[in-house]
Structure 1
Amino acid sequence: MSDTPLSNTPPVEQTVAVACDPLGDSFAARNLADELGLAWLGTVQPKYVKDYPVLLYMDEQGLALQLTGKGAPGPVRAEFVTGKMGYRREHGGGTGQLIARAVGLQKTRAELHVVDATAGLGQDAFVLAGLGCRLTVFERNPVIHALLADGLARAVLNTECAPVAHRITLLPGNSVDWLRQAGPDAADVIYLDPMFPHRDKSALVKKEMQVFRQVVGDDDNSAQLLEAALACARYRVVVKRPRKAPSVSGPKPATQVEGKSSRYDIYPIKALPA
């Protein structure tokens, strides 16, 4: 996710409202609506809502983003206990993931402090935390930030996930500001995953992107993020990009780790500790 509001994205209060399922925590949902300055619709069925394209929706499973209208895809949430993340945790925790190679975990046994400056739903951060890294994560969009906070809170309640979730610190605010103020060696590795037009054909990615486009839009500050990250990373900066997309404006990456649909551009500063 980006850390700069976008001129072509409607204000969040015009796009998103907060609502509740009959089995959801209506008290918590109402408080969240007040906190974010969003309209509170009470207990509703998303398919009947016409005034807002997206709901921040509280149901029995926690907080989710839900497109409104008939035929809309199901909810999107930050989920670490079940689903894809649960399966990954039960089958190695992500040791074979390209992000682990890009961050350099095969080269060091040190506990790395990684700053994820564009956390989104936190999946990459959770993989790295599960592999022993200590994470500081930022998500500038208040709606996505609320989703991530809810997902991490639920993960802490799960016996297997709690040790991983406790290695993740979610901070409010603009990561660009934090990076610019942090100074040299503020983090071992800084990870950037700016929003880009996903071309993955899976239904999940399509569903996530439909919602995220409505709420966040596209990033326009990738170059500023990269510049700020390079000024305060100790060992390297890693940027996730579509496989065939150009690199972020600025210095060229020294190397890349490439997958089927995406790649990781690596900007080394000095060698990782053995």
Structure 2
Amino acid sequence: MTKLRQKIAKRDHGKNTAMSKSTRADKIEFSKLPPSQRGAPGAGGVVDVTQEIERVTIESKRERYQKEQEERELHESKDEQYYKEVAPGISINPALSLVNRQQVVVTSGTDAADVSQANELAVRFGLDYVPLHQLQTMPQQLFTYQLALAVASGRLSLNDLELYEGKSGGIRRKMTCEVTLDFTSGELFYKIKERTFAKSPMVRSVRCPEVPATVLDVTGGLGKDAWVIASFGSKVTVVERNPILHYFLECALDKARKNPATKDIAARITLIKADSVEYLCSIINREPSEQPDVIYMDPMYLSKSDSAKQARALSKKDIRAIRKLVGGDRESKLLFALSKRIAQKRIVWKKPKTVAPIIGIDTHYSSSDTRFDVFITATKKVVNPANGAETTTDPRSSSSNNSSGNNGLDNKAKGEAMSCIH
């Protein structure tokens, strides 16, 4: 009797599955029909708005997945547009150093000077220029942009774009999460002037224990962390590959160099437009005296977090807009593996507090939502508990005396770096 019941249940389950597949197929075929063939309500073909929204969403996700798959295949096929080998076994994606024309648009009001500046920026970055009044009312079917590079009264800003319903009922578009950069005024200028960062976790993590002479920031972004570090006397090299963020930093530093209150700090900052992985591979063979004391990393983490606390740590307006521009973290482990062969004293890796630390971290400094993991690369003294004898270890010894070529990457460094690529 039990076996018979199992057979009946299995048969009924098969029928239900077949009916479900048939119904789903009918819905798909119905959604593919043009509106003229779907019929009117009550005539055998009711148009469901919810189904239409789901259909468009699914198609959009499918197109995005196909595009990502095509880019991945092009990179694996070593297409020059998506693949560039910077060292044996280590490659970068050159497309990440370009601005996506379908993602960013340049806009401005009607002021002649603003229009002229906006058009110059559009030519510089290879982007479209759309006047602000058209940007606000452009039909969604023709609109692919996610960010707007806006010029207003000569002031440049990066803005997120958000839809809302106008008073007349129509769909309109507005700019939110404005991102600007100015080292000569605002909250950052005041805090630097009052030296409120002296006991901050970031500054404490960089000190070793004195202020380092040279710091390399391999994840430049808006350069605010680099500016704080330089305010304490360190010479900071900032590497940024995104053309728009590099332009923001370039303009802010030029303005700071002309201001008597900030010119000394600006003079200690060197800005380089390059991919950080490629840059690290290019300097790995330099003499130790030419290498940075500290390498600072602040990768852009994805917005999807594992906890509410991490979501709050990633919710700043400028971070949300920049995340859309540059995407999430892709290469932090590879940067860390290369940095261990270059940094003379330590590596500082900034992370949300809820992200697990990497194995081998020597110490860390924390704020309410952020943690600065410190990996000491200078020579360490190790005491043998058995006999009390002291020995020294140098984490960089495998690369400091390397002269085998391959851009300074010995077998151990290549192994660590290659293990992080995938």
Asked whether 1:256 is paired with 2:364, we answer: yes
Q: 1:271 to 1:32 in 2, by over 3 A?
A: farther
Asked if 1 retains the 8 angstrom alpha-carbon contact of 2:300 and 2:323, the reply is: no
What is the letter of the counterpart of residue 162 of structure 1? Answer: K
User: Which of 319, 326, 337 matches 1:227?
Assistant: 337
Asked whether 1:171 is paired with 2:245, we answer: no
Q: 2:148: which partner in 1?
A: 55
Q: Give SS of 1:232's match.
A: coil
Q: 2:191: which partner in 1?
A: 88
Asked whether 1:31 is paired with 2:134, we answer: no
Asked whether 1:212 is paired with 2:322, we answer: yes
Distance 1:42 1:156 in 2: 32
Asked if 1 retains the 8 angstrom alpha-carbon contact of 2:104 and 2:147, the reply is: yes
What is the letter of the counterpart of residue 297 of structure 2? Answer: L
Q: 1:157: which partner in 2?
A: 258
Alpha-carbon deviations, 1:20-49, whole Å to 9, x = none? Answer: 344564444323322222112256576446
Q: 1:261 to 1:6 in 2, by over 3 A?
A: farther
Q: 2:378: which partner in 1?
A: 270
Aligned pairs (5 A) from 1:101-120: 101-104=204-207, 107-108=209-210, 112-120=213-221
Per-residue deviation, 1:4 = 5.9
Q: 2:411: which partner in 1?
A: none
Unaligned regions of 5+ residues in structure 1, if any?
A: none
Unaligned regions of 5+ residues in structure 2, if any?
A: 1-90, 163-172, 304-309, 381-422
Asked if 1 retains the 8 angstrom alpha-carbon contact of 2:99 and 2:243, the reply is: no
Distance 2:252 2:245 in 1: 11
Asked if 1 retains the 8 angstrom alpha-carbon contact of 2:346 and 2:374, the reply is: yes
Q: 1:148 to 1:44 in 2, by over 3 A?
A: farther
Asked if 2 retains the 8 angstrom alpha-carbon contact of 1:116 and 1:135, the reply is: yes
Asked if 2 retains the 8 angstrom alpha-carbon contact of 1:47 and 1:68, the reply is: no
What's the RMSD between the two structures over aligned residues? 3.0
Q: 1:79: which partner in 2?
A: 182
Per-residue deviation, 1:62 = 2.8
Asked whether 1:126 is paired with 2:227, we answer: yes
Alpha-carbon deviations, 1:199-230, whole Å to 9, x = none? Answer: 4749x953223312321110111111101111
TM-score (structure 1 length as normaliser): 0.84
Asked if 1 retains the 8 angstrom alpha-carbon contact of 2:108 and 2:132, the reply is: yes
Q: 1:45 to 1:61 in 2, by over 3 A?
A: farther
What is the letter of the counterpart of residue 164 of structure 1? Answer: I
Q: 1:142: which partner in 2?
A: 243
Aligned length: 264
Distance 2:251 2:147 in 1: 18
Distance 1:205 1:154 in 2: 28
Instruction: State which drifts further: 10-19 or 217-226.
Output: 10-19
Q: Which has the larger radius of gyration?
A: 2
Matched-pair identity in %? 28
Q: Give SS of 2:294's match.
A: strand
Q: 1:244: which partner in 2?
A: 354
Asked if 2 retains the 8 angstrom alpha-carbon contact of 1:6 and 1:217, the reply is: no
Per-residue deviation, 1:73 = 2.2
Asked if 2 retains the 8 angstrom alpha-carbon contact of 1:93 and 1:127, the reply is: no
Q: 2:297: which partner in 1?
A: 192
Distance 2:296 2:197 in 1: 16
Q: 2:389: which partner in 1?
A: none
What is the letter of the counterpart of residue 226 of structure 1? Answer: F
Distance 2:292 2:332 in 1: 19
Asked if 2 retains the 8 angstrom alpha-carbon contact of 1:93 and 1:130, the reply is: no
TM-score (structure 2 length as normaliser): 0.56
Asked if 1 retains the 8 angstrom alpha-carbon contact of 2:92 and 2:278, the reply is: no
